[in-house]
Chains A and B, each alone.
Chain A
Amino acid sequence: MSGHMNLTLKVWRQKNENDRGGFITYKATDISPDMSFLEMLDVVNESLVKRGEDPIYFDHDCREGICGMCSLYINGRPHGPKRAITTCQLHMRSFSDGETITIEPWRSAAFPVIKDLATNRAAFERIQQAGGFVSVGTGGVPDANEIPIPKVIADEAFNSATCIGCGACVAACKNASAMLFVSAKISQLALLPQGQQERYQRAQAMVAQMDEEGFGNCTNTGACEAECPKEISLTNIARMNREFFSAKFFKEEEIR
């Protein structure tokens, strides 16, 4: 069951990290409005393979908006024109017949392109490794209900915890800042009683790693919040700054 839409795609192609790369134009024909954006690319790729041409490489996996693997910069916006969804949840009905669509990878020095539309987001891994955890080992923990948490706090922590680590915030930011991402994890654990013991070390370690990775600073433009597929709020950044400054200004024992 093919559709009636015909589109022109301008796609960033780059063989590997060292290649300069450039835009190549493709036609996408007989596209159904019910296809997801990635299914549209599947159709294009299938025809490329049939012609013996290298298919367009793009990251994707769960295709249900939760794994954070997909990452396209579509017509100048991370994850395309619709709010609060990932590219895999974007459907072709959001475009018009005959439209030209420009597709690029995330653009940030900290996320080098490894092929075509895929980037290396290992910087995010290293930030999480620097302190995005509570230091408890397996076993020997209290009964779950011995840690009561007010529902409003739990809900707020949950809102921060929904970050999928896709990197759209970095891609949207004119400074390529990773603050929304970093602050989401710091906030989740700063809000919860489980995270209290290490809250200040955590904030310092994660921010230090973030800076080391070469992400830019935050100038409160809010593009990250507007483009975040999980609607992580800017409040997280304010909370991260507070955690960070508290840790810097005071000695640990004074701020407990």
Chain B
Amino acid sequence: MELNAKIPEGPLASKWSKHKFNLKLVNPANKRKYTILVVGTGLAGSSAAASLAELGYNVKTFCFQDSPRRAHSIAAQGGINAAKNYRNDGDSVHRLFYDTIKGGDYRAREANVHRLAEVSVNIIDQCVAQGVPFAREYGGLLDNRSFGGSQVSRTFYARGQTGQQLLLGAYSALNRQINEGAVQSYTRHEMLDVVVVDGKAQGIVTRDLVTGKIESHAGHAVLLCTGGYGNVFYLSTNAMGCNVTAAWKAHKRGAFFGNPCYTQIHPTCIPVTGDHQSKLTLMSESLRNDGRVWAPRTPELAQRLRKGEIKVEDLKEEDRDYFLERKYPAFGNLVPRDVASRNAKEAVDEGRGVGGSGIAVFLDFADAIKRLGEDAVRAKYGNLFDMYYQITDENPYKHPMRIYPAVHYTMGGLWVDYNLQTTVPGLYALGEANFSDHGANRLGASALMQGLADGYFVIPATVGDYLATIGPKPVDANHPAFAETTKAVKERIDKLLSLKGNKTVDEYHRELGLIMWEYCGMARTAEGLAKAKGLISALRADFWKNAIVLGTNDEMNQSLEKAGRVADFLELGELMVDDALNRSESCGGHFRVESQTEEGEALRDDENFAYVAAWEYKGDNVAEALHKEALVFENIKLAQRSYK
């Protein structure tokens, strides 16, 4: 199958507006004859569902949480980018486009990213109109800050809770449509498969997590807004329930998976304290605006510190290595996430780590407190400092924070064309669930932007073209494909429930996570990846023999829920390793040890790898087929990233 990204012809800046004009429209009187199924209710899902219902379509939303408002977008802290240029500091749509392509290490599509930058300005307007309380200045206008490696102040924020406020905005728009009867909301429902009829997605199969009831829902289009798959690493900043199941089932039904190995490791997370750790907590990257990252200069000093022979305060200035400032004088502590994370790992690998485990570096606010005063620091970062204090029992106003990178975001996801359609017609992927806009590394404050861009502005235009093409004929819910898919879902549940071994699902998940972190984490080698492949496939085989899955289907059964999700992660993990193995260059969040510059920086290989790797499922235990979508850069000159 030939991949067609359907990128419109013409100059970059007019592609989107021209494309919108060329897209077919659905007659207003016909819109109510269509049903659209939206899976996931985070920023992408809620905004899409609300916007589509406003247009007149029937919409059904599904989420596994007890309310759409609890989707994990809620936890995003830092902010959302928009090319408003309210600061008069030289920002523009083109600059946001350029920064995003460069930040993504030249592995994203020009046309998609430019569209993202274009609609970014509309997102802020939309959110403000809904009553989202963004930070403001005394004059009453919106405040901005610089964020995550950006040289301009284009980030809009709502204290450290931007994701929460944006999601509550989208949720309120969704509620309005539910109130009007245009949206039916299904909570505590998990999607377990896609129904494909004659090559088109026409429905889904869900499980009611309270009663266990398996049912199918028919629709003219299915939108997967189901987030990322960071929990394949077990420990990540994702919520406990975040999973790949919806995307993975779609993949097995024919949707290609794009760039699965692109994982973002976020540099500023609270370090692990023990085996009981269930998740990692991120602290906004905005902390790097004022905090200075450092490690003791030598392993000896670090060791004495860990043993408690000396205190942090005893370390003289010359014994502190502000390694980001030293190595990257132009960007200092504000280098992109991948660079900051790798350097922290390097310091720890050299034995210069701090804290009980030795797996952490310092993030120090002493200078900022001296310069701005404790009150000013509290006003800016109060909630983050409180959170840190709460979790670690250490006062960050008095002692430097300890931080370490953790898995945060997955740039990879279902492959989509310019219309956000996967390789299965009628099946779309939005937000973090797709692969499209962040290349190999996502810049700070870009995830919220993408989720809302896809939901509010892109999908309402593009899905209409598909719907107009297939026509408003009702979907036949009696087509045998519905019964067959439902049966397959039930059989798999029965198979999971038959597992009465001796190892808990969590134990498998933890083990998988360790393999992924060790071999497919911040630095990857061909040798390590080959080893990981064997380990994962052995673990998967063992899971299907020795896992313990308790209870029955007809009840609230967390044992069953977890088992289904971990079983899918065990398959995804292997694909991630295959993809990482194939991409023998370093780029963005994917660092191949074999491919680095003399200075130890990531070395891209544009000649051989300027493509999107889109993987096609070929059957259980059969190698997936690799399809390549060449990335064509007509407006940007590819350059090795340098933040020196």
Binding site for B on A (CB under 8 A): 1-3, 15-16, 32, 34-36, 38-39, 42-43, 46, 49-50, 52-55, 57, 59-69, 85, 89, 91, 93, 114-115, 118, 120-122, 124-125, 128-139, 141-145, 147-151, 154, 157-158, 161-162, 164-165, 188-189, 192, 194-195
* Cα of A1 to Cα of B356 in the assembled complex, Å: 12
Known A49-B504, A93-B393, A129-B178; contact A16-B556, beta-carbon cutoff 8 A? yes
Separation of A66 and B284 alpha carbons in the complex (Å): 14
| Per-residue interface assignment for chain B, residues 48 to 75, with 1 indicating a CB less than 8 Å from any chain A CB and 0 otherwise | 0011001000000000011101101011
Interface contact B240-A161, CB-CB below 8 Å: no
Does B551 have its Cβ within 8 Å of any Cβ on chain A?
Answer: yes
Contacts of B139 in A (CB 8 A): 148
Q: Which residues of A contact B165 (CB under 8 A)?
A: 158, 161
Additional A-B contacts beyond A141-B126, A144-B142, A194-B131 (19; CB < 8 A): A1-B276, A15-B555, A46-B504, A54-B550, A64-B279, A66-B75, A66-B161, A67-B239, A115-B555, A125-B67, A128-B171, A128-B172, A130-B179, A138-B126, A138-B460, A144-B124, A144-B128, A145-B84, A150-B140
B277 CB-CB contact with A under 8 Å: yes
Question: Complex formed: what's the CA distance from A64 to B179 in Å?
Answer: 30
A195 partner residues in chain B, CB cutoff 8 A = 131
Query: Which residues in B have their C-beta under 8 angstroms from that of A149?
Result: 136, 140
CB distance from B173 to the nearest CB of A (A): 6
Main secondary structure of the interface of A (DSSP, over half): loop
Q: Is B133 an interface residue (CB 8 A)?
A: yes
Instruction: Tell whether, in the assembled complex, residue B124 and residue A194 are in contact, meaning their CB atoms are under 8 Å apart.
Output: no
Task: Answer whether residue B506 sits at the interface, using C-beta atoms and an 8 A cutoff.
Answer: yes
Q: Could you say which residues of chain B place their CB within 8 Å of the CB of A49?
A: 504, 548, 550, 559
Chain B: interface size category = 35 or more
Q: Is the CB of A157 within 8 A of B133?
A: yes
The answer to whether B548 and A134 have CB atoms under 8 Å apart is no
Contact in complex: A55, B133 (CB < 8 Å): no
Which of A50, A67, A151, A188 has the largest count of B CB atoms less than 10 A from its CB?
A67
Contact between chains at B241 and A43 (CB < 8 Å): no
- By the criterion CB–CB under 8 Å, are A138 and B556 in contact? no
Q: Give the nearest-CB partner of B277 in chain A.
A: A39
Partner of B556, one of A57, A124, A142, A188: A57
A67 touches B65 (CB 8 A): yes
Cβ of B176: which chain A residues have Cβ within 8 Å of it? 129, 133, 135
Contact of A69 with B550 at beta-carbon distance under 8 Å, contacts A36-B278, A142-B129 already known: no
Docked complex Cα distance between A168 and B495 (Å):
39
A115 to B391 CA separation, bound complex (whole angstroms): 29
User: Which residues of chain B are near A32, meaning CB under 8 Å?
Assistant: 273-274, 276
B185:A2 contact, CB within 8 angstroms = no
The residue that A61 contacts in the complex, of B128, B239, B548, with Cβ under 8 A, is B239
A64, A122, A138, A148: the one within 8 Å of B75 (CB): A64
A67: contacting residue among B75, B86, B158, CB under 8 A? B75
Residue picked from B65, B67, B72, B173, most chain A C-beta under 10 Å: B67
CB distance from B168 to the nearest CB of A (A): 7
A158 interface neighbour in B69, B159, B179, B502, Cβ under 8 Å: B159
Quick check: B239 and A162 within 8 Å, CB to CB?
A: no
Q: How far is the CB of A13 from chain B (nearest CB, A)?
A: 12
List, sorted by A's number, 27 A–B pairs whose CB atoms are closer than 8 Å. A1-B274, A1-B276, A35-B276, A39-B277, A46-B504, A52-B548, A55-B558, A67-B65, A114-B210, A122-B66, A125-B67, A125-B175, A129-B179, A133-B130, A134-B131, A136-B129, A139-B122, A145-B86, A148-B141, A151-B136, A154-B133, A157-B131, A158-B165, A164-B164, A165-B69, A189-B131, A194-B129
Which residues of chain A have C-beta atoms less than 8 A from B178's C-beta? 129
The answer for the CA separation of A57 and B387 in the assembled complex, in Å, is: 26
A52 to B549, CA, bound (A): 9
Contacts of A55 in B (CB 8 A): 550, 558-559
Q: Is B4 an interface residue (CB 8 A)?
A: no
Determine whether B456 belongs to the interface, using a CB cutoff of 8 Å to chain A. yes
The 4 closest A-B pairs by CB, nearest first: A148-B140, A1-B274, A133-B172, A141-B129
- The 8 Å CB contact of B54, one of A66, A89, A122, A138, is A138
Question: In whole angstroms, what is the CA distance A33 to B138 when docked?
Answer: 44
Could you tell me if A39 and B130 are in contact, using CB atoms closer than 8 angstroms?
no
Provide the residues of chain B in CB contact with A3, threshold 8 Å. 274
**Contact among A93, A133, A143 for B125, CB-based, below 8 A:** A143
Max count, chain B CB within 10 A of own CB: residue among A3, A15, A36, A61: A61
Report if B202 contacts A (CB, 8 A): no
- A69 CB → nearest B CB, Å: 5
Q: A67-B65, A194-B130 are in contact. Are A162 and B172 (CB under 8 A)?
A: no
- Whether the pair B65, A61 counts as a contact (CB closer than 8 A) is yes
Q: Which of B84, B168, B274, B556 contacts A34 (CB 8 A)?
A: B274
Q: How far is the CB of B538 from chain A (nearest CB, A)?
A: 22
State whether the Cβ of B419 lies closer than 8 Å to any Cβ in chain A.
no
Asked if A62 and B54 sit within 8 Å, CB to CB, the answer is no
Q: Is the Cβ of B130 less than 8 Å from the Cβ of A136? A: yes
Known pairs A55-B559, A125-B187, A188-B131; A158 contacts B158 (CB<8 A): yes
Out of A46, A68, A150, A157, name the residue touching B70 (CB < 8 Å): A68
Q: Are B391 and A60 in contact (CB under 8 A)?
A: no
Contact A142 B74 (CB under 8 A): no
Q: Is B550's CB under 8 angstroms from A52's CB?
A: yes
Tell me, in angstroms, the Cα distance from A39 to B278 when the chains sit together: 6
* Closest Cβ–Cβ distance, residue A186 to chain B (whole Å): 12
A249 to B117, CA, bound (A): 48
Do residues A132 and B172 form an inter-chain contact, with CB atoms below 8 A?
A: yes
**CA of A142 to CA of B240 in the docked complex: distance in angstroms?**
38
Question: Distance in Å from the Cβ of B164 to the closest Cβ of chain A?
Answer: 6
Is B309 on the interface with A (CB-CB < 8 A)? no
Q: Is B390 an interface residue (CB 8 A)?
A: yes
Contact of B72 among A61, A120, A135, A148 (CB under 8 A): A61
Residues of A within 8 A of B275 (CB): 1-2
- Which residues from B are CB-within-8-Å of A137? 51, 54, 173
Output the least CB separation between A134 and chain B (Å).
5
Give the distance in Å from the alpha carbon of A141 to the alpha carbon of B129 in the complex.
Answer: 7
Q: Is the CB of A62 within 8 A of B72?
A: yes
B86 — which chain A residues lie within 8 A by C-beta? 145
Closest Cβ of chain A: how far from B505's Cβ, in Å? 8
B67/A133 in contact, CB under 8 A: no
Give, as a whole number of angstroms, the nearest-CB distance from A203 to chain B: 15
Chain B residue, CB-CB nearest to A48:
B550
Q: Say if the beta carbon of B281 comes within 8 Å of chain A.
A: yes
Interface assignment of B137: CB less than 8 Å from any CB of chain A: yes
Within B101-145, which residues are at the interface with A (CB < 8 Å)? 122, 124-131, 133-142
The reply to whether the CB of B517 lies closer than 8 angstroms to some CB of chain A is no
Complex Cα distance, B387 from A36, in Å, reads 13
- In the complex the two chains form, what is the Cα distance from A220 to B47 in whole Å? 37
User: How far does the alpha carbon of A128 sit from the alpha carbon of B66 in the complex, in Å?
Assistant: 14
Counting chain A CB atoms within 10 Å of each CB, the highest count among B165, B178, B279 belongs to: B279
Minimum Cβ distance to chain B for residue A169 (Å): 16
B551 touches A54 (CB 8 A): yes
Please, which residues of chain A bring their CB within 8 A of the CB of B387? 64-65, 89
* B460 proximity list for chain A (CB < 8 A): 138
A35 closest partner in B (C-beta): B276
Is the beta-carbon distance between B70 and A61 smaller than 8 angstroms?
yes
Contacts of B98 in A (CB 8 A): none
Assembled-state Cα–Cα distance A157/B133 (Å): 7
CB of A187, distance to nearest CB on chain B (Å): 11
